[in-house]
Amino acid sequence: MKPLIKDILALPAASQEVVVRGWVRTKRELKNFTFVEVHDGSALTGIQCTFEHTLPELSTGASVEIQGKLVPSPAAEQAVELAAQSLRIIGKADPASYPLQKKRHSFEFLREIAHLRARTATLGAVARVRSRLAFAVHEFFHQQGFQYIQTPIITTSDAEGAGALFQVTTLDLEALARSARAPDYQEDFFGKKSFLTVSGQLEAETYATALTRVYTFGPTFRAEKSNTTRHLAEFWMIEPELAFANLHDNMCLAENFLKFLLSTALCDCEADLRFFDAHIEKGLLDSLKSVLDSRFTHLSYTDAINELEKASPESFTCKPVWGCDLQSEHERFLTEKVVRGPIILTDYPKEIKAFYMKLNADGETVRAMDVLVPRLGEIIGGSQREDNLRTLESRMQELGINPQAYNWYLDLRRYGSVPHAGFGLGFERLVQYVTGMTNIRDVIPYPRAVGQAEF
């Protein structure tokens, strides 16, 4: 394989002959010299290539192969640069139409040209951090004895309650509409109604009760109509599930996992994170480092409501009351103003959580946990699962869920039931948190959100 620019930049500048390949980010002409910055995405920085003549035919965006000698650079930000000897333009980019010109573009504009935006400094850095974090997820679980499992993307269970579902069908809807017939899902591909999954948890539980420690890492779909900076319709979720574990074990795992991911990013993505700190979110590095040194605060939902009630009523547009789901404004108030650091909120009212969460002795609250972080709010949601067959069945009854449809899931409580727990970490929320990017649509290559599925 041909060397990457990041490897070339690390070479000693002892007049080595090298060939650089990449795309032109900028070109400056000064008297008879031309300074060309070439990037290949392997690092935040590109390599400066200096020609002793003008290059009228070369423009921003073109792909090039430049041969020359590495020499010490007079510029402060780089050790070496290329004294260029020859240039081959591999692919031109017409300056009259190439959309990525030197000026700063808005992220909204870049979303319209998502097929080219990875060539910008910011989106390139996001892609590298995202890739490193994905690998770190596997590293962490591998080190901790977890098995990576793949759960189905198409599902026929519709009552999990995590969010609105996308239906999957091969029925001819237009023909049905013309004939004014109601769809018969027995004639559909799977013989019943089917959907894109909102979570791999239930299937992960079945493997956790065989392999003890498992995790999933895959795409998840929610028809979230809410047009926020933290919600996508298609996102990636990491869901560890562990047997012989209670909520406390789950909280420890979540804290260790997040800290491992942050320290990996701080260590291996240092240049990219310094860039985000300078250009996207001031103080980002300090805030990430402070999380590493902190202990996550544990707070019950009930105590959290008490804290929120102490705040002046003008702090919120929606008044916090016991029994209501916390809004993002409440979550951020708790983590940014009350605790000033990550919080794990636990023991939510059963009415606002899913049927499978373990019921507490009070009969009112469940062993749920949400991890909240400053600047973002919820990053992780999880729980200890109900492992008692009778309790689980009666919870399902209360919620009008047909136990027949979940027979396989109930079997886990019939045969060799154990206390077990797990959580879901939204991968894009993590990337958002680590990079400081404001909008979740800018931390996934091709965002799918309400009204948006281009490319």
Residues binding ligand ATP (CB under 6 A):
162-163, 222, 224, 230-232, 235, 237, 378-381, 424-426, 428-429
Q: How far is the CB of 183 from ligand ATP (least distance, A)?
A: 27
Q: How far is the CB of 80 from ligand ATP (least distance, A)?
A: 41
CA distance 265 to 178: 55
Task: Single out the residue of 311, 305, 379 nearest to residue 343, CA to CA.
Answer: 379
CA distance 262 to 269: 10
Q: Compare residues 5 and 127 and give the one whose CB is closer to ligand ATP.
A: 127
What is the crossing angle of helices 270-279 and 247-268, to 10°?
Answer: 90
Q: How far is the CB of 275 from ligand ATP (least distance, A)?
A: 24
CB 115 within 8 A of CB 83: no
Q: Compare residues 119 and 429 and give the one whose CB is closer to ligand ATP.
A: 429
CA distance 254 to 425: 9
Q: Compare residues 38 and 443 and give the one whose CB is closer to ligand ATP.
A: 443
Task: Single out the residue of 220, 193, 192, 190 nearest to residue 204, CA to CA.
Answer: 220
Q: Compare residues 23 and 296 and give the one whose CB is closer to ligand ATP.
A: 296
Q: Compare residues 22 and 426 and give the one whose CB is closer to ligand ATP.
A: 426
State the pairing for strand pair 297-300/343-349.
Answer: parallel
Q: Compare residues 81 and 331 and give the one whose CB is closer to ligand ATP.
A: 331
Q: What residue has token string 């390599």?
A: 47
Cβ burial 397-413 (10 Å sphere, 16+ → b, else e): eeeebeeeebeebbebb
Contacts 24+ apart (CB under 8 A), 83-87: 83/50, 84/36, 84/49, 84/50, 84/51, 87/51, 87/55, 87/58
Q: How far is the CB of 289 from ligand ATP (least distance, A)?
A: 22
Q: Which two tokens stand for residue 410?
A: 């109930």
For 255, list phi and psi in degrees, rounded to 5: -65, -45
Q: Compare residues 232 and 245 and give the one whose CB is closer to ligand ATP.
A: 232
Using CB atoms, what's the residue nearest to ligand ATP?
381
Q: Which two tokens stand for residue 328?
A: 């993002």
Q: How far is the CB of 304 from ligand ATP (least distance, A)?
A: 14
CA distance 89 to 356: 60
Q: How far is the CB of 51 from ligand ATP (least distance, A)?
A: 46
Which strands form 234-243's sheet, in the order they lie side by side? 147-148, 213-221, 234-243, 420-426, 377-384, 365-373, 343-349, 297-300
Q: Compare residues 8 and 326 and give the one whose CB is closer to ligand ATP.
A: 326
CA distance 450 to 436: 23
CB 262 within 8 A of CB 292: yes
The helix (run of H) or strand (run of E) holding residue 236 is: strand 234-243
Q: Compare residues 25 and 429 and give the one whose CB is closer to ligand ATP.
A: 429
CB 448 within 8 A of CB 412: no
Q: Compare residues 49 and 305 and give the one whose CB is closer to ligand ATP.
A: 305
Q: How far is the CB of 370 from ligand ATP (least distance, A)?
A: 7
Q: What residue has token string 């860039």?
A: 275
